[in-house]
Amino acid sequence: MSASSRFLNALAAELPRGRPPIEQWDPPLRGHSDMRIAADGSWYHEGNPIRRERLVRLFSHVLRREGESYVLVTPVEKLTIDVEDTPLIAAELSVDGRGDEQELRFRLNNGDEYVVSPEFPVRVRSDNTPVLTLDRGLSAKLSRPAWYSLAELVTENSSGLAGVFASGRFYSLEPGAE
């Protein structure tokens, strides 16, 4: 049985419903998963696209970053996975409210939602790529429609920096600003 087959069996047998507590798991590294996440957010296994959204969602919930590597984790083992850019895509932006107190909510390509906050800030990398910082060391690149929606909300703060307000806090969208 291949490492990726063992991993899938362990995943199916051991995971609770919802987002598992992978930050509590520290199993040994067993090798590579034969999986890759392309820059456009598409997931592949052994070179073939994973077309089932439920599988992508499941895998994304057991994914974390460790240093410069990405790993898929179960209670009994972890496998590395290749990620070309960011592992997830912030596909849509919804806005609730207006002005400084508006709530900015991104829906990811795996169906999860994140509200922009100090824990999950939005920023522009030094390569001009807009990203949302997620938990578990992950990030999501903003899709073009999400980026355009966010761009409509851009304003300047008192220091002259371009950015957006969310939940009473200003988030700079100047490239490379943290």
pLDDT above 70 (res 146): yes
Are residues 14 and 77 in contact, defined by beta-carbon separation less than 8 angstroms?
no
Taking residues 64-89, report their average pLDDT.
Answer: 96
CATH code (residue 95): 2.30.270.10
* Same domain, yes or no: 156 and 119: yes
Task: Identify the pLDDT of residue 6.
Answer: 62
| Enclosing domain of residue 132 | 88-172
* Same domain, yes or no: 53 and 97: no
Tell me which of 24, 48, 83 is where a domain ends: 83
How many domains is the chain built from? 2
Strand 155-156 with 169-172, pairing: unpaired
Tell me which of 51, 83, 115 is where a domain ends: 83
Tell me which of 61, 83, 105 is where a domain ends: 83
* Same domain, yes or no: 22 and 71: yes
Instruction: With H, G, I as helix, E, B as strand and everything else as coil, classify residue 147.
Output: helix
Distances, alpha carbon 161 to alpha carbons 35, 54, 174, in Å:
40, 40, 7
**How remote is the C-alpha of 107 from its chain's centroid?**
10
Residue 113: inside a domain: yes
* Same domain, yes or no: 97 and 116: yes
Task: Identify the pLDDT of residue 48.
Answer: 95
**How remote is the C-alpha of 59 from its chain's centroid?**
12
pLDDT digits (tens, 9 = 90+) for 11-38: 555 444 568 899 999 999 999 999 999 9
pLDDT above 90 (res 147): yes
